[in-house]
Structure 1
């Protein structure tokens, strides 16, 4: 989708390492305790959002 970078498992792991706000969730993701199917569902929900366009907000 235009305006969003592609989400990948590796990319999300990298983001979580850079932003350690919720340690329990991060550990679950890093140790692959989360099922890949539920991970894919979350990615699909995130991709359905429309990108923010400042020009159209005026």
Structure 2
């Protein structure tokens, strides 16, 4: 659980532009950076790290 739930909520309640990936306020109709009209809600769950070793060496 987050140490500061108010801050966590403020960080996650955003929209993301599907053109340039800029974050926008949830109520935005257009991207503030590029003006694109297709916005999606930001994922509320953190992504899990991709499995495997960093660098892609495969351990060989």
Fold shared, TM-score > 0.5 on shorter chain? no
So what's the TM-score if we normalise by structure 2?
A: 0.23
More helix by share: 1
Larger radius of gyration: 2
Greater RCO structure (CA 8 Å; 6+ sep): 1
So what's the TM-score if we normalise by structure 1?
A: 0.23
More strand by share: 2
